[in-house]
């Protein structure tokens, strides 16, 4: 049976008009691939509606984090909002973050190629950073995957909260590889303040974020969102079935 649950695509939120345009285009692209499903936007910061308002307006939604790593916003903010929703029937579901995922690696590789990065260039993955070590581990996982794809080492630098900071990672790469260009593969979802900080990190080349406001939404990103939504619903279906079986067994034991 095809699910009719609404889908809430929840991003961080940004004050950047370019970032807002890029994320809205992703939401529209997902909605076009889910005919008959209500697809809404929500935000954990900066923009409205916030997550609580989103879940109020979209009862029983599958919440898909439009976040590249599962840090505080996923494990705390979103998890608390979902579990505290005042519903027994049609309770909301929380899907996994977008990364790590090999399709994101392919998109990073494409951005590097578009920027003219070649085999002699040294690549550093530029990520947002987090106080949650699980998110940091996700980013290091992506750096390792990108390294395997490129066939050369890829260090990871962070814009905020984590070490090494991106500018330091670029300086260290330049010191280790004198005379070679340093390229930053920007591991950010969309244009905005962090993308501006990445662009100012001192690298010779800094790629565009995964979403751009002046280009079509990558179909691979839409595919990942759809896969995360479907996986959350499959897991919920299994758990619902297991819960029903437990109740039946309980009744049978009581009657026996």
Q: Are 72 and 130 in contact (CB under 8 A)?
A: yes
pTM above 0.85? Answer: yes
211 part of a folded domain: no
Cis peptide before 49 (omega within 30 of 0): yes
Is position 1 within any domain?
no
Beta bridge partners of 123: 154, 183
Is 128 a domain residue? yes
Does residue 233 lie in a domain region?
yes
State which residues of the chain have pLDDT below 70: 1-2, 85-89, 238-256
Same domain flag for 175 and 152:
yes
pLDDT for the residue 87: 57
Domain-located, residue 169: yes
- Residue 37 included in any domain: yes
pLDDT for 86:
59
Which of 224, 155, 248, 157 shows the shortest CA–CA distance to 197?
A: 157
Residues 145 and 108 in one domain: yes
Total tally of structural domains belonging to the chain: 2
The mean of the pLDDT values for the chain is 91
Q: 161 and 69 in one domain?
A: no
Give per-residue pLDDT as tens, 197-256.
Answer: 999 999 999 999 999 999 999 999 999 999 999 999 999 885 554 443 433 343 234 334
Phi-psi region of 4 (alpha: psi -120 to 50; beta: other; left: phi over 0): alpha
Domain encompassing residue 108:
102-206
Residues 186 and 226 occupy one common structural domain: no
* Cβ(5)–Cβ(93) below 8 Å: yes
Residue 92 lies in a domain: yes
């Amino acid at each position: 049976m095809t699910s009719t649950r609404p889908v809430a695509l929840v991003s961080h939120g940004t004050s950047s008009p370019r970032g807002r345009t890029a994320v809205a285009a992703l939401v529209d692209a997902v909605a076009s691939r889910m005919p008959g499903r209500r697809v809404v936007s929500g935000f954990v910061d900066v923009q409205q509606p916030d997550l609580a308002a989103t879940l109020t307006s979209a009862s029983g939604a599958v919440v898909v984090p439009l976040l590249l790593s599962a840090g505080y916003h996923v494990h705390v903010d979103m998890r608390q909002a979902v579990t505290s929703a005042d519903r027994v029937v049609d309770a909301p579901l929380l899907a996994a973050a977008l990364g790590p995922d090999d399709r994101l690696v392919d998109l990073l590789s494409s951005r590097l190629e578009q920027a003219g990065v070649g085999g002699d260039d040294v690549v550093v993955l530029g990520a947002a950073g987090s106080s949650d070590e699980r998110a940091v581990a996700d980013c290091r996982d992506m750096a390792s995957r990108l390294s395997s794809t490129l066939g050369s080492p890829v260090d990871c630098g962070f814009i905020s909260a984590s070490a090494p900071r991106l500018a330091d990672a670029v300086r260290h790469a330049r010191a280790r590889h004198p005379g070679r260009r340093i390229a930053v593969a920007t591991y950010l979802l969309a244009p905005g303040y962090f993308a501006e900080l990445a662009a100012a990190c001192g690298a010779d080349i800094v790629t565009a974020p995964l979403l751009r406001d002046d280009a079509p939404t990558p179909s691979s990103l839409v595919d990942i969102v759809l896969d995360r939504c479907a996986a959350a619903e499959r897991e919920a279906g299994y758990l619902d079935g297991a819960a029903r079986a437990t109740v039946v067994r309980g009744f049978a034991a009581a009657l026996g």
